[in-house]
Each structure stands twice: as C-alpha cells, then as structure tokens.
Structure 1
C-alpha cells in the first residue's frame, strides 16, 4: 500500500503556520526575557524542530528583525510625527518619551530600537530614516537653543541603558517608573539649565548593541 503525499497547498499552509508560530513565540520570549533567548528555546516553545526554524530563519538576526517588524514601523511613525511638530524641544522629547515607554514593557525592544542604527543589522530605508530622523531632531533642538549643546548621540544609548535597568512587578509600574526617570533625564538635557562653568565629562564610547544584542546562535 502506498501513502499519498500531502497536497502542495497543505504543505504551504503548514509551513506558513509554523513560521507564524515561530515569530509570535519569539516576540513573546524577546519581550519577556530580552534577546539572549536562544533559537533552541524559540523552537522548543514553538513546537517545531530546530531544523524547521533554521529553514525559515537562517540567522538569529533574521528572526529578530521579523519579530520586531511592528515596533520598527512604530518607531518610524514616532519619528515622522515628531519631525512634523513645530516645537523642536517637544519633538525631541516626544521621541525619547515614546521609545522609553515602549522599552519599559518589552525587554527586547532596546535591541530592536538600536538595530535601526548603522552597523547593527542590515539596513533598509526605514532604518536609515530613523537614523537620520533622530539626528535631525537633535540638531533642531540644539539650533533652537532648547537642547544642551553637549548632548551627544551616544547619550541616547546611555539613556536607554538606564531606562532598561528598571525592574517592576507589573507593566504598569514599569511604565510609571520609566516616565519619571525620563522626566528627570529630559530636565537635565535642557539648554537653559547648563552651567558653563561645570562641564560634563566627555561622552562615553557606548555601543548599546553589544550590550543588548548577543551574537547570533
């Protein structure tokens, strides 16, 4: 007796379901534990073999990108709306506040956000837009005399590191703590509070992706 092979359409449907399950599982695990989750754990929690996962996502970076597609789009939207704001200081603050609020409830988000900057993962137009958009917001706020002139791009990494260290018993508490921390930090970024006789130490040579994005499996 011979057994007929499943129709091609059924195989395509099963493959699509496996892929969707892998992405959804990865999204949940990255949010709960950060990006140190292994591909083996993602496969096990998804109910698929590791070989199946690698057929869909040959590298961990590929899975990270897919899992955070919605967050990438939201980041782009946040920057786009900020660039349309007439007040440069409010525009800068809105991006920092929104990104930090997103990070507070998703442990993997800092890595996803930093991945939009050069050399983190392969760039596309959206990531280039985010990169140049944030630089423009910083420069506008400085030109308007609102953002302290010694603010450096690496200070964004420093801010995200501080915000990412928040621990709380619930997402609501984490967001509340993040909101207060960010308010303190934004207050310190104001140009009108700079004391020229008390300069800051030089910017730290931070590269946040090396702290939150472990090498792929």
Structure 2
C-alpha cells in the first residue's frame, strides 16, 4: 500500500532565497503598501525574477505566508499569556505584547484588508485567536480584577485604536502609545471605586468581525448568464 510522501525540504540556497524574498516583502509592504509586485520584491531581495517565481507563484502566496506567520505569532503570545497564573498580568501582557508586535509589523497591518486572503483566512483569526482572548478576559472578570462590563470584543477595538496612535506618532514619539495603553489599562482595572456607566454595550463577535472587515474589497461576482451569452 502506497503512502503519501512528505514534501522534500528546500535546498539550503533555495531556503535562503525564500527568506530573503519574505524579508524584502516585509520591508516593501511597510514602505509602499501591498501595491508592489513580485518583481519589485525580487529586485529588493537581490535575487532574479525567475528565482522569485520558483519560490512563490505570485505575490498573493507571499501575503498568505506572512499572514500565517503573524497569526502564529499572535497565537503564541495569547497562549503564553494564558500560562501566566495572575489574570491581570495575563491580560495586560497580551495587550502589551500584541501592540509591540503591531509596532514592528507596520506593513502587515494592511494584509487584513486585502481581498486576496479570502474570508476563510480571515476566519482563522476568529477560530484560533478569539477563544484565547475570551478566556483571558473571562479569567480576569472571574478574579474580579477588571470591570464587569469589559468584554472580549473590546480587546479588538482597543488594539485597533492603539495601532492608529502608533501609526501617527511612531516617527516622532515611538513610545507614546504606551501612555494611552496605560490610561486604558487603568480604566478597566477594578478597585475600590465606582466606574462610570458605559454609554453603549459591547459589540457581539459577529458584529465586531463585520466592523473590522467592512473595508475589505470583495471580489467582483461574474454574471454567468452574460458570460455564456457573449
């Protein structure tokens, strides 16, 4: 009975070229956005265009690879946070580390808005990361260390708001976002005080997903009847 063979590992030079292409893509995406071509990436990496196309069929494969790397990194941070026995330290650690990763990953923030990933890849975030955040928040609420009306979906918008601050101040005051993160953390931490009632409820997971992906362009739907009639 035949068995499926695992993919052959890349030769050392092929593996080096692949990493050079990924490093070049990160730099160009950060500087110019996702509009660069695979040819641009190859030139920036210092490899031939033919070499680039042997490693990646197109730019979308590079985007998908970088997205998976980022997703794995965020997942690892969330798992590390859950290993922290102190619920407050766990939640604050996750928020701080997630923001530090965004700060060093400026160009890849655009990837979540890119249509080439498809809804399946975006849903990976919800399936793999969201349950970990839910556990972090509920542990903190059960321990009584954060306000009762703070919800897991609030984490998404806190990170989004902090990312905006980082983008606008990174060149003049790169640590400024820490000031506002401190305000936010103090604002959700419980203690011997009364919290101001929130003016509106937190969004559901589904509504949060819609809000965070609404700017993504949707692929055009081809009219099958028109296509066959032409």
Does the TM-score normalized on the shorter chain lie above 0.5? yes
Q: In the TM superposition, what whole-angstrom CA distance separates every residue of 1:107-156 from its partner, at most 9, and x where no partner exists?
A: 135467999xxx461777x9844332121101111112222232233322
CA distance in 2, matches of 1:179, 1:72: 23
| Structure 2 residues without counterparts, runs of 5 or longer | 1-10, 220-230
Where does residue 105 of structure 1 map in the other structure? 104
Q: What's the C-alpha RMSD, in Å, of the aligned pairs?
A: 3.9
Where does residue 134 of structure 1 map in the other structure? 133
Matches within 5 A, 1:4-19: 16-19=15-18
Per the alignment, in what secondary structure is the counterpart of residue 146 of structure 1? Answer: coil
CA distance in 2, matches of 1:37, 1:81: 35
Contact 1:32 1:106 in 2 (8 A): no
- The total of aligned residue pairs comes to 196
Matches within 5 A, 1:80-99: 80-99=79-98
Where does residue 24 of structure 1 map in the other structure? 23
Where does residue 195 of structure 1 map in the other structure? 195
CA distance in 2, matches of 1:57, 1:189: 47
Where does residue 64 of structure 1 map in the other structure? 63
CA distance in 1, matches of 2:53, 2:194: 52
CA distance in 1, matches of 2:41, 2:132: 33
Contact 2:153 2:202 in 1 (8 A): yes
CA distance in 1, matches of 2:129, 2:102: 16
CA distance in 2, matches of 1:105, 1:22: 18
CA distance in 2, matches of 1:140, 1:53: 47
Where does residue 223 of structure 2 map in the other structure? none
The 1:130/1:18 distance shift into structure 2, 3 A limit, reads: same
